[in-house]
Amino acid sequence: MYPFLRLGTHAIKSAIKQKQGHSLQLTDTSEITLTANINDIDHFFEMNNGRIFTLFDLGRNDLAIRSGLAKKLFKHRWGLVVAGSTIQYRKRVRLFDKVTIKTRLIAVDEHWFYIEQSMWVKGQPTCAALLRTGITNIVTGKVLPTEQVLSALDYKDINMPPDDWVKAWSDADKIRPFPKANVHLTKDSAITE
């Protein structure tokens, strides 16, 4: 189940921080803390890998709210989209662990904002994700050029080209085959309608 209560609670905390002068630049690192609870834990008594991605939403929301992006989203009727992601897991997160989620913008190209997110317990990184994200026009559903979004946020001169490892991942993702429509797999073979 999606953590709507946590999302609302953290959104309120982020808005309060911003109003109290704890705003962020789009290029700053957002940090939020939470406790791994029973809804986050799987049958191996550790945080479920899918839940980690869901909780990363909270970190991206914090960065959006505290950097002023969220206000621009509402004003221009824009939305957020994740177009690709990859993650590395290194350490388990257990029930009741105090978790810090760090979120930062690491690169921008013509179409995408690349976000790095990591989860930390007791000062140790447990996992790290790279996400290719975009801003969409919610009426048309089309991804907006990053230059348009950055201009609306008064970041006209931002220059954050992808590092080699980010570019390599993005390039590899472009050649990855995507499933074709109307192909149904059976026990013996694929059948095309």
Structure confidence at residue 7 (pLDDT): 78
Structure confidence at residue 8 (pLDDT): 81
Average pLDDT value for residue range 158-180: 93
With bands split at pLDDT 50, 70 and 90, how would you rate the model's confidence at 190? low
Structure confidence at residue 184 (pLDDT): 67
Structure confidence at residue 107 (pLDDT): 97
Alpha carbon distance 158, 107 (integer Å): 10
Structure confidence at residue 40 (pLDDT): 94
Q: How far is CA 185 from the centre of its chain?
A: 31
The whole-model pTM stands at 0.88
> Among 132, 115, 121, 124, which residue's Cα sits nearest to residue 40?
121
Alpha carbon distance 150, 2 (integer Å): 30
Tell me the residue length of the chain.
193
Alpha carbon distance 49, 52 (integer Å): 5
